[in-house]
Amino acid sequence: MSILNRPQKLGLIQFATGADKSTNLSRASDFVRQAASSGASIVVLPECFNSPYGTQHFSSYAEPIPSPGSTSTSTTVSADLSPSFIAMSNLAKDLKIHLIAGSIPESTSDNKIYNTAMIFNPLGELITTHRKIHLFDIDIPGGITFKESDVLSAGNTPTVFSVPEVGNIGVGICYDVRFPELAMMAARGKEQDGKDGVFMMVYPGAFNTTTGPMHWELLARARAVDNQIYVAMCSPARGEEGKGYPAYGHTMVVGPKGEVMKELQTEEGVLVVEVVPEKLQEVRRNIPVTTQRRFDVYADVSKAKP
């Protein structure tokens, strides 16, 4: 596949989910259409876009996700069982976009539930999925206590996919952004020359009003500046006060110099930003840390696995 590093418009959707799954899907679809009509060719939905975010909700909103290569019309796909998959596959195909469908609770035949992002190409084919690797288990007295591991299982595989003629994109979900190794591995790539590294990490995420102000922007900028890549963080909107999980909002895109390019506040909306993969070369030429690393002094942990 040739990588020409063509600039693209990236669309990020910030919206608040409610109790009704089909309403969540149709509202998500409306926002994705809005992003595409503004020229976005790669669109991102937030974490848990088909359900409210909370351990008490995951099992009732969970759906099986068909294997990569499937589309909404594949014979193995059931409309009753996988409505979120079908809606997103159709949307990607109708709009001819790459769609990083934030995450949904995924149920499996061995009775596990994962927090999983589905990634579609413009033919509506599922390219790959990302199962949240680091589960959100925290306890901040007087702030927030959350334990995803009560009901969710953790994924084990880093996720990178290719957009033809544009470049490679890495995906993590929310708490994954706190672990620099994932972005570092993705940015450096598998090959020695690093040319297969990603130009952008995308994190659908749902930080909250305790951890969001402390770390959301800091982590996005840290992952960007460490790796000299774009970082996109896509959150649900805040929603009604006192009702459910208080999502932080502040969906944003950070550029490869570590600068916040554009940001939403707490309300629903669509953020469209042009990303220019070639920009990485200039940034890396100006501050050449990518070639100044001292692997004679410390290990290149990005190459340790897999």
Ligand X SMILES: NC(=O)CC(=O)C(=O)O
CA 246-249-254 angle, 5° bins:
145
Write the CA distances from 298 to 192, 245, 292, 295, 305, integer angstroms. 17, 41, 12, 5, 16
Buried/exposed code over 40-69 (b: 16+ C-beta within 10 A; e: otherwise): bbbbbbbbbbbbbbebebbeebbbebbeee
Give whichever of 70 and 208 is closer to ligand X, judged by the CB atom.
208
In the set 21, 93, 132, 279, the catalytic residue is 132
Q: Which residue, 216, 214, 208, 212, is CA-closest to 246?
A: 208
CA-to-CA distance for 36 and 96, rounded, in angstroms?
Answer: 9
In the set 47, 63, 106, 263, the catalytic residue is 47
In the set 21, 148, 174, 234, the catalytic residue is 174
User: Could you tell me if 279 and 256 are in contact, meaning their C-beta atoms sit under 8 angstroms apart?
Assistant: yes
Helix, strand, or coil (residue 232) = strand
Give whichever of 161 and 207 is closer to ligand X, judged by the CB atom.
207
Write the CA distances from 200 to 92, 122, 166, 193, 259, integer angstroms. 20, 19, 11, 17, 14
User: Could you tell me if 254 and 224 are in contact, meaning their C-beta atoms sit under 8 angstroms apart?
Assistant: yes
Shortest CB 146 distance to ligand X, Å? 7
Give whichever of 49 and 175 is closer to ligand X, judged by the CB atom.
175
Alpha carbons within 13 angstroms on the beta-carbon side of residue 249 total 16
CA 136-152-28 angle, 5° bins:
80
Shortest CB 207 distance to ligand X, Å? 4
Give whichever of 62 and 206 is closer to ligand X, judged by the CB atom.
206
Give whichever of 230 and 248 is closer to ligand X, judged by the CB atom.
248
CA-to-CA distance for 35 and 48, rounded, in angstroms?
Answer: 19
Q: Is 48 annotated as catalytic?
A: no
Q: Is 132 annotated as catalytic?
A: yes
Q: Is 263 annotated as catalytic?
A: no
Which residue's CB comes closest to ligand X? 211
User: Could you tell me if 279 and 273 are in contact, meaning their C-beta atoms sit under 8 angstroms apart?
Assistant: no
Give whichever of 52 and 277 is closer to ligand X, judged by the CB atom.
52
Name residues whose C-beta falls within 8 Å of residue 225's C-beta, 6 or more positions apart in sequence.
Answer: 257, 258
Task: State the residues that interact with ligand X by CB under 6 A.
Answer: 136, 174-175, 178, 206-208, 211
Shortest CB 204 distance to ligand X, Å? 10
Shortest CB 31 distance to ligand X, Å? 21
Residues annotated catalytic, as ranges: 47, 132, 174
